[in-house]
Amino acid sequence: MSLQELAKPLGDVTAATVAVSTLLKLLPPIAALFAIIWYSVGLYEKITGRPFSESALARLLRRIG
């Protein structure tokens, strides 16, 4: 299993934990923003059937950063 394949489930668990913790007021709202971004990327990949790294937004972010 590659590092990228391991990162996805770990990111999902982290995002879910952050979201629940924020709802329980254990973490600040900035942590909820991380979870929203992570799940949005995941939804984009499921809807389009291609990796987010191939999207126009990802290319734009690479140019900026």
Find the angle CA(64)-CA(3)-CA(63) to the nearest 5 degrees: 10
pLDDT class for 53, splitting at 50, 70, 90? confident
Residue 16 has pLDDT above 70, yes or no: yes
What does pTM read for this prediction?
0.54
Structure tokens at 13: 């668990």
Structure tokens at 48: 């389009």
Question: How is the chain split into domains, by residue range?
Answer: 3-64
**CA-CA-CA-CA dihedral for 31, 6, 48, 43, to nearest 10:** -30
Which whole number is the average pLDDT over 25-44? Answer: 82
How much is the CA Rg of the chain, to the nearest whole Å? Answer: 13
Query: Given this model, what pLDDT does residue 1 score?
Result: 63
Residue 10 has pLDDT above 70, yes or no: yes
**Higher per-residue confidence, 53 vs 4:** 53
